[in-house]
Amino acid sequence: MNTTFTITRRVALKIAAGAVALGLAGPAAAETDFSGKTIEWIIPFSAGGGSDTWARFNAPLLSKYLPGNPVVVVVNEPGGGSTKGTNLFAARAKPDGLTILGTSGSTQFPYLLGDPRVRYEYKDWKIAMASPTGGVVYSSPELGLKGPEDIANLKDKDLVYASQGATSLDLVPLLGFRMMGFNVQHVFGFKGRGDGRLAFERGEVNIDYQTSSAYLKNVQPLVDAGQAVPLFSWGVLNEAGDVVRDPTFPDLPSFPEAYQMLTGNAPSGPDYDAYFAFFTAGFPAQKMVFLPKDTSDDIVATYQKAFEDMKADPEYQANAEAVLGTYEQVTGPLAQALFEKGTTIAPELRKQVVDMLADQYGVKLGE
């Protein structure tokens, strides 16, 4: 027994010494060959969530397509609703291309709302890739509608929605339903959209939305069985920055179309602008990969190319739908446009949303 212990210790010591030596060697120079380097991909969420899965799906592909095939490790820095890890990235990351950040709608929302915990500035960073997502709103057939064309039936109904919280991604349906003039009771405290869907299946709520892949897998069977009625998709952004029908659901109206069906007018005005900012941050620009402030354009271009190249990889194509839903990850001008739209809100719109949340839902954004 004793010998084994000693050997283990000796081996461990060697590993330790080796690792220390490795760490001390390798001064980081800004060059677009990453041979022998380790790239840290900061994910400000704990292991196992959507963002973590997304990063772990991309990491090996990124390693394969970046010049020099660096090791890409996903580093989880959870806490503070993703503000902690993001603050850390903003304070510590060097512009050498060896530290990147993956954000999500939950990182964008506190920034847009002016949460006091936010000490990062999106405008400092360079975007490498954006990963859009979409979702479909559906309701219970007990409300007496057959399909999207009957959406006006919902006007005078008491609707109940299972929400994760008024400052979470569920802010988008909250603002959307308000614009449509629906009478919705938001019940908070749900742990995720899956949890909300369960409440729908239990009959506790009668209106819900799911992101596209979850919708296809879990709600489509309900629709086929006559237990759910699809209403509209949130829609996707085209290159001009307009909301258009989601190509995954070509038969469903987008939110602006549904709004027009209800009211006869295209949505506009400050309410729509506020909705639009959070919608963009939550869906078309939901997940983004950033390089730190002052990163050279060469490095940014190298990353963009790697993200483009990986799309042809059979590994990517095999699993992309399960992880990403039905949407392509984008780079270049479209990513830049999504980035800008998803991280910008006029100060008066911010105030309007924050005041509304405080008045109507008792939400306070910390001290």
Partner 1 sequence: MVETLLSALGALLTFDHLLYMLIGVSVGLVIGVIPGLGGIAGLSLLMPFLYGMDEVAALAMLIGLVAVIPTSDTFSSVLMGIPGSSASQATVLDGFPLARQGQAARALSAAFISSMAGGIFGAVVLTGFVVVARPIILSFASAELFMLALFGLSMVAVLAGRSLAKGLAACCLGLIIGSIGGAPATGEFRMIFGFEYLYDGIPLVIVGLGFFAIPEIADLLRKNSAIASGNALGSGWFQGFRDWWRNLWLSMRCAGLGCIIGAIPGLGGSVVDWIAYGHAVQTVKKDPQFGQGDIRGVIAPESANNAMQGGALLPTMLFGIPGSGAMAVFLGGMVLLGIQPGPSMVGADLNITYSVIWSLALANVMGAGICLALAIPISRLTQIPFQRLAPFMIVLICFAAFQATRSLADLVALLALGVLGVLMKRFGWPRPALLIGYVLAPQAETYFYQALQFNGWSFLGRPGVIIIGLMTLASVFFGLRNRVDEHGQVVPNQDDAPDVPTLKAHLPQIGFAVAMAGLLVIALTDALKHDFLGKVFPLSVSIAGLAMLLVLIPQLVRGKTGHHAHFDGELTGEHVGQDGIGTLWGGLFWIGGLVGLTALIGFYAALLAFFPVFLIVRAKAGPVAVALMTAGAAGFILTLAWALSLNFPSGALQDLLDLPWPFR
Q: Which of residues 317-336 bind partner 1 (CB under 8 A)?
A: 318-319, 322-323
Contact stretch for partner 1 (CB under 8 A) within 125-133, 243-251, 285-293, 356-364: 356-364
Under 8 Å CB-to-CB from 225, ≥6 apart: which residues? none
Under 8 Å CB-to-CB from 157, ≥6 apart: which residues? 143, 182, 183, 206
> Is residue 208 near partner 1 by the rule CB under 8 A?
no
> Is residue 120 near partner 1 by the rule CB under 8 A?
no
Q: Which of residues 211-250 bind partner 1 (CB under 8 A)?
A: 213-214, 217-218, 221
Residue 195, amino acid: D
Phi, psi of 361 (to 5 degrees): -125, 5
> Is residue 95 near partner 1 by the rule CB under 8 A?
no
CA atoms of 132 and 91, how far apart (whole Å) = 27
Contact stretch for partner 1 (CB under 8 A) within 123-131, 189-197, 233-241, 299-307: 189-197
Three-state DSSP state, 103:
strand
Contact stretch for partner 1 (CB under 8 A) within 3-11, 264-272, 330-338, 348-356: 3-11
> Is residue 195 near partner 1 by the rule CB under 8 A?
yes
CA atoms of 183 and 158, how far apart (whole Å) = 6
Contact stretch for partner 1 (CB under 8 A) within 197-205, 244-252, 269-277, 278-286: 197-205
C-beta of residue 233 within 8 angstroms of C-beta of residue 245: yes
Question: Would you state the structure tokens that stand for residue 262, as one six-digit string?
Answer: 């209800």
Contact stretch for partner 1 (CB under 8 A) within 75-83, 238-246, 257-265, 299-307: 75-83
Report in angstroms how near the CB of residue 14 gets to partner 1 at its nearest: 8
C-beta of residue 108 within 8 angstroms of C-beta of residue 51: no
Contact stretch for partner 1 (CB under 8 A) within 14-22, 124-132, 263-271, 327-335: 14-22
Report in angstroms how near the CB of residue 361 gets to partner 1 at its nearest: 7
**How does strand 38-43 pair with strand 99-103?**
parallel
Residue 45, amino acid: F
CA atoms of 323 and 211, how far apart (whole Å) = 11
Report in angstroms how near the CB of residue 63 gets to partner 1 at its nearest: 10
Report in angstroms how near the CB of residue 80 gets to partner 1 at its nearest: 6
Q: By C-beta, is 14 or 155 nearer to partner 1?
A: 14
Choose, by CB under 8 A, the member of 46, 227, 260, 336 that binds partner 1: 46
In the sheet where 99-103 sits, what is the strand order?
71-76, 38-43, 99-103, 287-291, 126-131
> Is residue 7 near partner 1 by the rule CB under 8 A?
no
> Is residue 36 near partner 1 by the rule CB under 8 A?
no
Report in angstroms how near the CB of residue 210 gets to partner 1 at its nearest: 10
> Is residue 183 near partner 1 by the rule CB under 8 A?
no
> Is residue 199 near partner 1 by the rule CB under 8 A?
yes
* Sole residue written with tokens 């990351």: 93
Q: Which of residues 253-312 bind partner 1 (CB under 8 A)?
A: none
Choose, by CB under 8 A, the member of 75, 223, 334, 356 that binds partner 1: 75
Three-state DSSP state, 40:
strand
Choose, by CB under 8 A, the member of 62, 74, 179, 231 that binds partner 1: 74
Q: By C-beta, is 213 or 254 nearer to partner 1?
A: 213
> Is residue 346 near partner 1 by the rule CB under 8 A?
no
In the sheet where 207-211 sits, what is the strand order?
207-211, 135-139, 229-233
C-beta of residue 304 within 8 angstroms of C-beta of residue 361: no
Report the Cα 193 to chain-centroid distance in Å: 13
* Sole residue written with tokens 């007496």: 144
